[in-house]
Structure 1
Amino acid sequence: MKPQTTIESVRLRQVNLPPKVVRTDAIQSFVTQETVLLTLRCSDGVEGTGYAYTIGTGGSSVMALLHDHLAPRLIGRDPLDLEAIWKDLFFSTHATAVGAITSLALACVDTALWDWRARSLGLPLWKLLGGAQPRVPVYTTEGGWLHLSAAELVDQTLAAKAQGFKGAKVKIGRPHVSEDVARLSAVRAAVGPGFDIMTDANQGFNRPEVVRRAHAFAGLDLAWLEEPLPAEDVAGHRQLREHTPIPVAVGESMYHLAQFREYLEQGACSIVQPDVARIGGITPWIKTAHLAEGFGVPVCPHFLMELHVSLCAAVPNAAWVEYIPQLDDITTSRIRVEDGYAHAPSTPGLGIEWDWPVIAARQVTEVQVAPAR
């Protein structure tokens, strides 16, 4: 009988990556991507690496939670027990869940376990998880930031269209509704009717103002209105859906499957946007996608395109991958985009090939957890 595989050691690293361009939205700026990497080595000799991120604060807190509380619980576990491990770790940190830091830490563990599992089987992640579609339409977010002028938005969106993207995101939330309307109208006039424009308010409005703006956006054929209200305001999102035909998208600021269930049960969203890092990993992400499928709702995940391309390819109701380069500085692999579609990687595991020498040179922290000698 083949001996049971166990997790022998866990290595943690943090690498800080500055954004390539200035990124601003209605409530914040993207300062630096604190990337937390977790590599587990198993007794079969196969390693799996997972990761999560912040946009400027909290990276050291995620590292501490992993090092002090979660990683030691992995030593000696069977890496095939993904569901059991996720549940055990979640309940071991129940006093800090549901919340961002705990979910990000769980995501590091869970994505590493799935990477190990796919690598040990010699399968691309998207095939292991379902293999629903080999390619997914892609839109870009790297040119629509709130500080840009209407002319700059037009130039960058036209450039994205020329590059083959099927859509682009434009941030909204300028002080007066007329400013948002002018910017969006300029982009729509430039790109024409066959190109999708996504908008993102980053939770910047209150209930009366978002209804006002939604009515002002009528006739612009927007693909969706993303995070128009604070994420905890389920009733407000439901009311908004009753006042506008523009699809309402939510999810990047949710940290548990149950939060998505509440939105779906209440009919408070048209599109779900789970972020695999913020929801706690691949295990709850896939559950969320299938839950949304049962409600006839598409999945358009937030950020993390290098991982989300595989998750979107795994499920039938994924409609878009968001293009926003994140890992180019520390990986040797690149997401393949052709004719407006992101293609699922064919290599075993997550499909991300880490540049370990570069990571070693740039990391700000590295610690290892192994059995006591």
Structure 2
Amino acid sequence: MISIQSKLPGVGTTIFSVMSKLAEEYKAINLSQGFPDYACDEKLINKVTEAMKSGFNQYAPMPGLTELRELIAEKAEKLYAATYNPDTEVTITAGGTQAIFTALTSCISQGDEVIIFEPAYDCYAPAIKLLGGLVKPYELSPPDYEIDWEMVKKLFTANTKMIILNSPQNPTGCILSEKDIKALIKLTKNTDILILSDEVYEHIVFDDKKHHSVALYPELRERSFIVASFGKLLHTTGWKLGYCLAPENLMKEFRKIHQFNVFSVNTPMQVGITNYLKDPDTYLGLSEFFKQKRDLFRGLLTETRFKLLPCHGSYFQCVGYEHLSSEKDTDMAIRLIKEYGVASIPVSAFYTRNTDHQILRFCFAKKQETLEKAVERLMKL
């Protein structure tokens, strides 16, 4: 057997793939992986189909279709009063995860330190390690997962290259406040520290709270890559389309990597999305759409023995069970699949050190009947 040296020796199959496979094997209701089980808008399907039939089936320009980039820049201007040049500061990507990887690859080198807030989306740490960087995790604790910025400051060294933000946050559903943003501005002032802001759930914010995009703040915007996802925006996670916003000097380096990573992404989908997003109501109504699902799911879960944690954004609800069992969250998640037919994600999988607070994450981007059926099963616990 030919031997190779693994670049990620401690990394196995993602927890999402593991739980989804178990859910399929045991015919469980899959509330683990974050994808809808309902159809996207038929109007969007028709616009993509029209694009295919009209011959938009060859390579798109490397940074993405001009009209779509212009539309995104216009959206950033209207929502965040942020000016991005569509020619030099907006790039269409093959999903949010590719945008994150490309942004990291464009600026992280051997020995660079990257601060992440855990529990964190599981692609951050492996990508940093793959590039020779050092992950500096700051662990957040339930139920509110608040950030102590004075403690974050203690993680800073001469090698600190980047801070990764995610708001609304996966898996916790927490969001950054204006107080958090002001603390971040103060910490990064007069430094060369970059920010990678994962804002794929930007339009899914509840309870009259505001999404504090880093695009709103010039002091942060000048040092930030902002990542967004059409999959989350349009209920089309399988299409794997997203985009990145960044000032020209950063985007120049981003595109150097992007052109040799994927070069360009799905042309007819870009055309269809462009025509669909000309109506801003297609995304401005997302908060209310998902609020109804969140409220339904939380209401149903009150009939179970789980403890509900706050959820102010995203389409994930975390629950605690420390009062019910001393089981590790991975064991509890597997038992829920095998014995009760419901798949979740153990939140310890989002920590570098697998820190276990006995909390599970459920996705509520599902049909009402799916959520009702799942909770009916969970009530038996």
State TM-score, norm by structure 1: 0.33
TM-score, normalised relative to structure 2: 0.32
